[in-house]
Amino acid sequence: LDINETPGKLINIKYPMIGQKSEKPRVGIYNLATKQTVFVTPKGAADAYLTNLSWTPDEKYVLIAEVNREQNDMSLHLYDAKNGAFVRTLLNEKNEKWVEPEHPAFFPNKNSNNFVWFSEKSGFQNLYYYSIEGKLIKQLTNNKFVVQSILGANAKGTEIYFTATGPNAMNKLAYKVDLKGKQTLLTKTEGTHTVVVNHDGSYFFDEYTNHTTQSKSLLVDSKLKSTVLVESANKYKDHILGTSEIKTIKSADGTTDLVTRLIKPSNFDATKKYPVMVYVYGGPHAQLITNSYLDGANLWMYWMAEQGYLVFTVDNRGSENRGFAFESIIHRQLGINEMEDQIKGVEYLKSLPYVDGNRLAVHGWSYGGFMTTSLMLRKPGTFTTGVAGGPVTDWKYYEAMYGERYMDTPAENKKGFDESNTLN
């Protein structure tokens, strides 16, 4: 709706819905000298996804991850930058649920076209070192936790700096690994670290926060000797904040640990009965509870606590940073297992003597709005109030890439779409 005109004017836009026509992407390479563009020729169908583009250091080739429309088959292709011609396939990954490349190839040595690739094929995202011919040289990391991002490399290209959760998925830590697979933890304090490595790896800047630290900035050298640059004063000293408690409960499968956060008011009285607001997201690519100051919560949640409410959150199965099996439990059944885990959270709340189990509310946005709506309709009587912001109500009207990755199409998965449809 264009509101620059009176009355407003409706303008049609293209929107690729699940199971319907989708985009047909192209990748062009523009030559600054000749001012000519050449286009690569994808190997798959016209509506395959072309993602995670990168240039080789010698600027002769372009790497493109091509993912089929179903998103269960990914090939990393090499193309000639001069004419766009296909050269070779460097690697291929398949998964019966989904393959989701999120990082372009990383070249640690500017004098070599050998590259590092992220993959979840082990069950957790790890780093793999390949030759430009497509041969796996070395699996660099073999962690049972998630490698999140690459920060850079040292001057020789023999050490790669990266972030990962470490064994505690609430953390974000910095590591380095050499090309033989020797891994070293660089950040000694648990928490959420934002790290910037200098051009040759001789120093890195580290700003971190955790449950007890608002913000602390360090300069760390290659021998891990650190100098404190800034330690923030308490910016909330003039405000009244309650407390946050982190606990674990079992998921609906009876075995998987789920992290929960319960915010209490500053004048909490265990002899009273408190109403509770459950804040939910619950979908992929989101983690609400982290080892950071306020434990990942927003200030408005602490404000709610000061108004006399407890505020509760659980990162159910389907949320990120716990590995592929944990996240992919949602496949073809969005909202089903996530709801059951949220109900386990409600059961935990009702077991607490200071919780009024008859006064529970639920609130969330986007996927959290979908979860809020689903919980209100599928679990009647659990919550007295629900506030759903921007919810998906029927997944068949959602966009193709996200929706088909997790749900396939209505023709292929009628049962899943029917069960997740909040209008049924």
Residue 157 lies in a domain: yes
292 and 161 housed in the same domain? no
Model confidence at 394, in pLDDT bands (50, 70, 90)?
A: very high
Average pLDDT score over residue span 396-400: 96
CATH assignment at residue 134:
2.140.10.30
In the prediction, which pLDDT does 76 show? 99
The whole domain housing 118 covers 28-230
160 and 79 housed in the same domain? yes
Is the alpha carbon torsion for 141, 57, 91, 67 positive or negative?
Answer: positive
197 and 333 housed in the same domain? no
Residue 311 lies in a domain: yes
Model confidence at 233, in pLDDT bands (50, 70, 90)?
A: confident
Neighbours of 55 (CB within 10 A): 16
89 and 226 housed in the same domain? yes
Average pLDDT score over residue span 151-177: 98
162 and 209 housed in the same domain? yes
Q: Residue 5 and residue 11: Cα distance in Å, rounded?
A: 12
34 and 179 housed in the same domain? yes
What are the CA-CA distances from residue 12 to residues 1, 2, 390 (Å)? Answer: 9, 10, 21
Between 36-45, 244-253, 282-291, the lowest mean confidence (pLDDT) is in 36-45
State pTM to two decimals: 0.94
Choose the final residue of a domain: 175, 195, 230: 230
Mean pLDDT of the chain, nearest integer: 97
212 and 78 housed in the same domain? yes
In the prediction, which pLDDT does 168 show? 98
Between 4-18, 52-66, 133-147, 353-367, the lowest mean confidence (pLDDT) is in 4-18
In the prediction, which pLDDT does 424 show? 87
190 and 300 housed in the same domain? no
Average pLDDT score over residue span 127-136: 99
Q: Residue 369 and residue 394: Cα distance in Å, rounded?
A: 12
In the prediction, which pLDDT does 232 show? 86
Residue 124 lies in a domain: yes
Residue 401 lies in a domain: no
218 and 257 housed in the same domain? no
28, 39 Cβ separation under 8 angstroms = yes
In the prediction, which pLDDT does 382 show? 98
Residue 413 lies in a domain: no
Model confidence at 421, in pLDDT bands (50, 70, 90)?
A: very high
CATH assignment at residue 294:
3.40.50.1820
255 and 223 housed in the same domain? no
Residue 296 lies in a domain: yes
- Phi and psi at 62, nearest 5°, equal -120, 135
Residue 12 lies in a domain: no
- Phi and psi at 272, nearest 5°, equal -90, 170
222 and 247 housed in the same domain? no
Residue 97 lies in a domain: yes
Three-state SS letters, the chain:
CECCCCCCECCCCCCCECCCCCCCCCCEEEECCCCEEEECCCCCCCCCEEEEEEECCCCCEEEEEEECCCCCEEEEEEEECCCCCEEEEEEEEECCCCCCCCCCCECCCCCCCCEEEEECCCCCCEEEEECCCCCEEEECCCCCCCEEEEEEECCCCCEEEEEECCCCCCCEEEEEEECCCCEEECCCCCCEEEEEECCCCCEEEEEEEECCEEEEEEEEECCCCEEEEEECCCCCCCCCCCEEEEEEEECCCCCCEEEEEEEECCCCCCCCCEEEEEECCCCCCCCCCCCCHHHHCCHHHHHHHHCCCEEEEECCECECCCCHHHHHHHCCCCCHHHHHHHHHHHHHHHHCCCEEEEEEEEEEECHHHHHHHHHHHHCCCCCCEEEEECCCCCHHHCEHHHHHHHHCCCCCCHHHHHHHCCCC
222 and 198 housed in the same domain? yes
What are the structure tokens assigned to 15, written together? 């929107």
Indicate the number of domains in the chain.
2
For 177, residues 6+ apart whose C-beta sits below 8 A from its C-beta are: 127, 140, 141, 159, 160, 162, 183, 184
In the prediction, which pLDDT does 264 show? 99
Q: Beta strands 213-221 and 226-231: pairing type?
A: antiparallel
> Which of 105, 142, 110 has the alpha carbon at shortest distance from 126?
142
